Each structure stands twice: as structure tokens, then as C-alpha cells.
Structure 1
């Protein structure tokens, strides 16, 4: 067992960390804080050392592209920050071959927690710190959770997935529509939307395989200047959408569902309700926009009522609920009002999400709810059924990493890409790479379909057709992810003898029989298969055109000339 030291004990009560058991290289420690009376505990930190043997990289849900091991004395050393509305309390240390060295997690995904791992030079070890109540919390008299250290020599993605599943609460129900490609208005229109134009775009999107439109910011305001100072009233801007119900009916008649954007916490100074909610904001009332405080029942009722009314009156199919991670305490947050029925912000956020979900599902049991990074944890994902990568326009690299990160921790929720967009002068291969980057998630597309070239339309059609045909393998197959230290050089999914492998920077693919599709998402023009036996193969370009086919006898390694953004389809012969 580890020697766990409590660095800063809380004067408000007793704090203990005790070993609970070790089985199959998974060690569990019980954590308990007992207050002398109701209090808001100050931050408590524990630390311990684990030998740094075989460690090469680090992962947490907020690490982005920074995955190297850092010394503990560096102020930016790897820290996993989590609370109900942001992040996940998991920190994983990984070997170069992709095996788990150890994965450190806390089973409480609601309370603000920080987990850090930094190299400790003198002892050649990893100095691990876990901080509880890392941000202000509501009053409590007792707190219990567990620290879990998983040292199994298994693939890193399996250890991370297992840690997330230990925290998951409730059953995840995902409507089929959340698992189909979607059209988004954001990167192509921003706030400058028009109902007649969007109806025509929906017709084009449907032909390409998209089955929902996400109508983003702009539908609720005449102002197109950005920002959120006009948010809060949620009335339709009739210069943009003349009649919301009629507009939605027309889109439904095309065969598409409608998802509408709302910024959940924000109320702007220029809204009619700005004055009404004075005293019930989390930040300074001098701001141009502010975050509502969900600890007030009136706030929760207002928000849930708006969404329920929209779903019922307009027959909406879903909601893009934005900025839930912006619910945060500040120095201006209320501390004394008797109108609040919660002291804990995290509990209030969960209550808000629970109330919204329950009321919307009464209206439509298959309601679609989109959340996005960083509110992605196991508690909130029992409410949101599609989880999107954070905004990264034009950045296939970040989109790829985000999709694969989310696939490890989101359970059954439909993981969505950030909206795919591109410059009109891009090559067909580069457009393809935007789509190839997110094949293991559900693609969202945000270009004006009326304005893309005929070739770009063919590229989009091919890859969306490919994705739809292989949806069950890509989303439900056994997922393997390679080289986290290189932000994933390759990923593959396999289901019922069919494997799809996407090469991002690594071109060597293992083949052991069955049906294989290898996608060339690298900057090179080849893919090498490693295996033995005779195969039938087809090579296609980025628009699906067959450019070569034949039979080849593989002995150890065989190299195939596959163009960038092309595919190699192989099947055992005989």
C-alpha cells in the first residue's frame, strides 16, 4: 500500500484516507471527511509517490495536445481539473507501447477535484497529488469517495474507459437520430441565418445523408455582432425565421429533425429579463452578460420552462445546450439569500439538468440533447445523449484527438465531431482529411452546400455514404487507439469480422483475416499491411473511384500504393 500523506488538513473536521483493498492490480482507498458542524470545507490535498517505471506520456480529459511528462515543480505540470460541469477526475500515465502504467481516478465526478502527476527528480518517481474541494463547495457535514489506482498492464484506453464507467450513474439512452450525420449552421452562417435559405440547404443535406439540422446562435436576435448581451428572452427573430412552427414543419417534411441552440446560463444586459434576475447571477452585474445561478428554483423553472415550451409548441426534436461549463462560482456569487434551495452549485446544476431532461422527455421521449467539451463527465452524460468536440474550425488534428478522447469516456453517448468546414480552394484530398479525422465519431457538417464545388460535393457524398454504411462498426465496434503520445497515429474498430482502420500518421496495419478497410489519413501515398496469406484488394481514391484491384500474397509486409485520403479494402482469398 502507498504512503499517503495529508498535506493540508481542514480545521473544520477530520479527514482520513484508508486502504480498502487490492485485487487484480487495482487498489482502492476510502476517503472520508467528517465535519464538526455544517461547513463549506477548504481545499484538502493528499500526496503519494508511485515509481516512474515505463512511463512515457500522460492523459487527462483536458490535456489537449500536451501529453508529455512534466516535473512536479513546473507550475503547468499535468493537472486534471474536474467538477460536475467540467472534466473528469482521471489521470493516466502511459508507456510508449500504449500500455497502462497506472491510472489514478476518484469515483466522485461531481465535487471539484484536482489530480496531478509530476516527475519527482530525487526519487525518480511520480509525485501524485489529489485535491478535494478544489473550488468552493456547498455546506456539508460528511463527505465520502474513493481513490482508485489501476496498475493493470492493459491498453491505456481500456483503463481510462473502466475508470469513467466506475463513476457513471444511471442508464444512457441514445436516440437513433443522435447517431446520424448532421448539418450545422454555425461556421457557414454564424448569426446571419434565413429560413428560406435553410430549407433549401436542408434539401441538399438530406440528399447527402444528413438527417438533422442544428440551428445555432442567431435565430433569437436581430443583432449579428456576436457576444451574448441579447441572450435570455429566447424569442424568435421574425426577420430571420418568419414562423418557427411552420419552418420546422417544412424541415420535417424533408425528412430532417431540428435541433435548436440555447446558451443555457447566459442572460444579456440587452434582454428584457436582465433586470428581473438581478441578485440571481453568479458574476458581476456590471458585465454585458451574466450567468444565472441555478441554486435559485426560479432560475431552474425559467430555463426548464423555456425549453419545454419550445419543444411542445414548435415540435422541436432536440436542443444544443451550450455553455453549461460556464456555471461557476465567483466572488460575486450569492452567499446569504433565503430564496436559494441549494448551497452546492454542482448539486444545483445536476438538479437543473434533471428537471430539463424529465420535462423534455415527457414531450418527446426521443429528444436529442447536445453537450460539448468540457461538460463531458459521467454524471452529465446521463442527461446529454450526444457529446461534441469543442470548437476547432478547420482543425482536423484537434477534431481527431477530441473525438478519440471522448470515445474513451462517454459510454454509450453519441460522440460528435466539431462542425466540419473547409476553404473553397481546398483540394479534394484535404477536404477528405477533415472527414477522415472524425470517422470514429458522428460527423457534423457546416458549409453552405449551395456554394461548394461539384467535386467537393462528391467527396462529401462519398465519405458520408461510407460512414453511414459502416456506422455500426465505427460507433459500436471494439475500438483500439494507438500512440497517445503522438495524439493518436492510428485507430481501428472491429465488429463481426469487419475491421476499419484509419491511419493518421502510422501506415503499417496488421491484417489477420476477414474484411479490412484501411483509410489513408496520412501525408504519405502508401499503406503497408503486415500479415501472411493471400488477399483480394481494391484501392479507391478520396471520391470512391476504384483505381486498382487485384490479388496479392502477403508475406510479412506488403506495401500498397494508396493515395492520400484513399482506401485499401482487403479480404482473405480462399
Structure 2
């Protein structure tokens, strides 16, 4: 029995039909340190793309299965954007199943080995067609396999990198083209959701907005609640997209005064929903589903009347209020085994994006995880980590994963919140975990204590000062198997290092200034490979100066940095 036959005989995936495999790419024919197979009879062409990857074009008709097999030697983790806290293990093939769709994740992943190298990285672009992804260890051979099953008709593009380069470079090499950030999409956001839910009021919100402007935020997202006189939960009023005059007596004046405070305004939209109590419900619009618990139907994006009605209502909302865009929510409700529904929804979203740009100039549209695939994010100005209130580690991991998944699209944190009883160090930790994306904030700013406001002001100011480095510098998260204990960015001689666990920080390289954000409680250990003469400045969580010393460093240097504090190291010279 050949090695291929032995491996393929052990691709055991319970509940899946057997596949008659054919090998389509190997080390022999495309200099690839992996083997790629396709179901027999599939129209496949293999080539090297301009990034050095093996690229397979598949014309799908019916059911198509693809497999990638690579040695699991020295492997430490399986990275996938499907789970921001799931990179700490390598699954078994028989258990590692997930479904990817136009509005649910990305068919992408990387097998990480020692030294943060990728033994293999892949990405499958299937357009609007859903993909079943199985990834895990073949226990009989100690190999790692990725199995991809697509049902439908369309063009598939599979890219595989097995060059064993740094894992972030490998993911980038198989990823989509780098997007160009929309004007205004990289501004810190004040979001109303956690702060108020549906309990909104025009004058009270303007009070929050004025403080947000003073703190350096540049965008306001008015989340769920502006469209209804209710102050609880539910979506019975969704679909009219008319501002409730009970809460916002003069929405145009509200947007104008928000702009005077320095913030642009975006309205939240539960895009597919048509609530049972909405005026538009009487228009007998076509729907595909009903959710009794939420009090809403789900609009059919294939219907021309539905499309024109929704676009018209959103156009009117922008034109009458002066807002710049929307947070489009609940897009996953347009996922369906009927491929015509997500296909139509993607087209509708592109139409909405075009309308927003037409009305608002360069308009803004926010999506959130899990609708993060390339066909979807092409119409987004920004994407946001999924809801994770008071879970800073998940926020950090989500930011890293989304930045690698959708390069160039500004990635926003889930809105940061904290308890009034938190220490200043803990408040800073919440913020530091959000600072490698665009930070969003959601809590009542008028109720902040003076110490908490000082922490927020310092770290938002630090982020604005270093925004270009954070968002556009060399981005290097480390050790996905340990949930990114170190996240770094570097540009033009300035290095930023977020330290989120008690691990040493490597100070090698040609940096001139290095900022260490200490989001851990333990002492900071710096690994200095050469003898350096430095000036070291320590600030606490509020930015207050603790110490500033000139020193000669070499080897391991231990520093006491307050929790949530900042160490700034300026290189003076190489010590004698």
C-alpha cells in the first residue's frame, strides 16, 4: 500500500460520505511540502501564484471535496479565525468540524510549529457557497489534514503555503488583497450598546458625546434603541428605520451637535429584520423566516421590492439626519443552504454600501465577527470583534485574528467596559487588550470617577499618538498557542510591545524607542542581547511619571512596572 493510500484510508470523519480521492499537488510536481487531493473527476488546475503559494482553481458542480495533508512534526497549535480562544490545542480530525458561510467565518487556518513557524497555511475562497471544514490530526499517521467540502456550483480558489515561514506571513500570503482603509474608519468609537442598551435619550447621550470628544474619540455608533420608544429588549419595531422622536426629538440637530463635539455619527441597523410592530410590516414584504422570540421576521434579500424598500429607508435616514453610515447587524440571519439567499444578500449589501458613499461622501459601514469573509467584508469599512464584555483576553485575541483574516480593513475592538469598582490597573488592562485594534468604548462617561477618566484619557491619547505604528506597522503577535502573550508593532524605529502574560520581552533589533505596555501583574523581564545604554521611563496606569533613569543594560533585566503601566526605553548607544 502506498503512503497516499495509507493516509487516505485513515481520513475518518464520522457521518461524512466516503470520498474517492485523487492527488493533485505534491512536493514532486509543485515543490510543496504538503500533499493536496481532490475528489475524483473534479476539474482542478494547479499553479504557483505570484506570492509563491500553490493555487488551485476548482470549478465546482455538485459536491466537491479537497484535502491538504502535511506532517505534524513539531506542531504546537492549530490557528483558525473561527475561535478567538481556541488556538491552544490541535484537534483530532474526527472531531474538528465547523461550517463556514458567507456570513459565518472564513475557510482559513494554519498549523503552527515551534518558533512561530507555519508548517502549512491555507485559505479557500468559495464566494457565497458554504464550506464544511474538518481539520485535525490523523491519529494513525501523526499527520495533519484539512478536509474541505463544498456543495453548489461556482469557482473555488484554494491557496496553500507550506514554506514554513513565520505564521503571520504565511497567513498573509494566502489571504485576500490588502484593503485600503476608508477615511474615518480608524477613529476611536463611542458605542452606546453596553452603556445604555435601548435606554437612550438625546440630551443624555450628547453629554456622553461631549466627553468622548474631549477624550479623543472620533465616531459615535448609536446602537439598538434609537428606532423604538421601548427601553427594554427585542426587535418588534425593526424595519422602519425612523428615529424615535420620544428619544431623539431632533435627530438632525443631535447629529450636528455630535459633529461639533468632534464625532461622526453611525446608526445601528438590524438589517434583515422586519419587526411584527413595524409600520413596514403592513407592506407585505417577502420574508424567509420568523423568529417569535425576537418578535421579527427575516426579509428575503432576493425580492426586488424588499431591496428597494430597505435601501430607500436607509437612504432617507442618512439624508435627513446627516449621519455618515451604519452598523449593519444580524447578517448571519441571511445564511442559508439555499445559495441564492446569501448570494442576493451580498449583492444587497454592496448596493447599500454604494448608496452610503453616494449620500455621505465617503461613508462608513461596520460589520462584526462572524461575518468576516472576503466576499462580505468587501462592502465594509470596518469590522469588529464579536461581543465579549469584560473579557479582555478574548478581545485581544479577536483583534489579532481579524487583522490577519481581513488585512487592511480597520479592525475594531468589542466596546471596552469595566466595573466602577475596578482598580486603575484593571481599567488599563481592559484598554491595553484593545489597543492593537481601533478601540471602542461603551460606558457612561459622565459617571466615570476621576481616576478612571484619567486612565482612559492617557491610553486613548497614547493610541492616537501611535496609531500609524499600531495599525500600519509591522504587526507581530507571538505564540498563538499561548493566546498571544506578546503582541508587537514596529515602524520607523519605534516599537510597541503589549505584554499580557509573565513572559520575557526580546529587545533585539534596530529600534530606537520601545514602548512596553504592561497588562500583567508580574515584574517585567527584558532580554537584552547586547550591552545597551538606555533611558528608561516608567509611568503608571494613568500616565503619571514614576521614574526616569539612565542605565547600562545587558542580559536579563528585571523592571517593576505598575499593572496597566507603561515602560518607555530609549536607546542612547551601545554600552562600552
Q: TM-score, normalised by structure 2?
A: 0.88
Change (3 A) 1:529 1:274: same
User: Does 2:102 correspond to 1:95?
Assistant: no
Change (3 A) 1:98 1:80: farther
The one of 20, 43, 47 equivalent to 2:46 is 20
Where does residue 557 of structure 1 map in the other structure?
Answer: 556
Give the SS at the match of 1:440: coil
1:8 deviates by 4.7
Where does residue 91 of structure 2 map in the other structure?
Answer: 70
1:56 deviates by 1.5
**What is the 5 A alignment of 1:219-298?**
219-277=226-284, 280-284=286-290, 288-298=295-305
Give the SS at the match of 1:267: strand
Where does residue 360 of structure 1 map in the other structure?
Answer: 356
1:445 deviates by 0.8
Give the SS at the match of 1:420: coil
Where does residue 60 of structure 1 map in the other structure?
Answer: 80
Where does residue 34 of structure 2 map in the other structure?
Answer: none
* C-alpha distance after superposition, 1:437-479 (max 9, x if no partner): 0111111111111111000010101001111111111111100
Q: Distance in 1 between matches of 2:68 and 2:182?
A: 40
Stretches of structure 2 lacking an aligned partner (at least 5 in a row):
9-16, 22-38
**What is the 5 A alignment of 1:81-120?**
81-120=99-138
Give the SS at the match of 1:418: coil
1:302 deviates by 1.5
* C-alpha distance after superposition, 1:172-215 (max 9, x if no partner): 4411x221111111111110010011111111111111122111
User: Does 2:59 correspond to 1:32?
Assistant: yes
* C-alpha distance after superposition, 1:293-329 (max 9, x if no partner): 1111111111211111111111112211111122122
Where does residue 198 of structure 2 map in the other structure?
Answer: 191
Q: Is the 8 A contact 1:507 1:522 kept in 2?
A: no
* C-alpha distance after superposition, 1:524-557 (max 9, x if no partner): 1324242321111111111111111111212122
Where does residue 170 of structure 2 map in the other structure?
Answer: 159
**What is the 5 A alignment of 1:426-441?**
426-441=422-437
Change (3 A) 1:349 1:251: same
What CA RMSD, in Å, does the superposition of the two structures yield over aligned residues?
Answer: 2.4
Q: Distance in 1 between matches of 2:333 and 2:515?
A: 41
Change (3 A) 1:475 1:497: same
1:48 deviates by 5.2
User: Does 2:170 correspond to 1:174?
Assistant: no
Q: Distance in 2 between matches of 1:84 and 1:15?
A: 26
1:14 deviates by 8.4
1:569 deviates by 0.5
Where does residue 26 of structure 2 map in the other structure?
Answer: none
* C-alpha distance after superposition, 1:238-267 (max 9, x if no partner): 111101112112212222211111100111
The one of 484, 488, 500 equivalent to 1:492 is 488
* C-alpha distance after superposition, 1:64-88 (max 9, x if no partner): 31221121223xx2x4532222211
Greater displacement, 378-387 / 394-403? 378-387
**What is the 5 A alignment of 1:476-555?**
476-511=472-507, 512=509, 513-532=511-530, 533-555=532-554
Where does residue 129 of structure 1 map in the other structure?
Answer: 147
Q: Distance in 1 between matches of 2:563 and 2:525?
A: 10
Where does residue 24 of structure 2 map in the other structure?
Answer: none
Q: Is the 8 A contact 1:44 1:131 kept in 2?
A: yes
Q: Distance in 1 between matches of 2:237 and 2:256?
A: 27
* C-alpha distance after superposition, 1:137-168 (max 9, x if no partner): 5xx5xx332322210111111211222226x7
1:365 deviates by 2.3
Q: Distance in 1 between matches of 2:315 and 2:528?
A: 55
Q: Distance in 1 between matches of 2:376 and 2:57?
A: 24
Q: Distance in 1 between matches of 2:527 and 2:313?
A: 55
Q: Distance in 2 between matches of 1:492 and 1:285?
A: 44
Give the SS at the match of 1:179: coil
Q: Is the 8 A contact 1:80 1:90 kept in 2?
A: no
Give the SS at the match of 1:114: strand
Q: How many residues align?
A: 539
1:45 deviates by 2.9
Q: Is the 8 A contact 2:42 2:64 kept in 1?
A: no
Where does residue 210 of structure 2 map in the other structure?
Answer: 203
Q: Distance in 2 between matches of 1:393 and 1:411?
A: 25
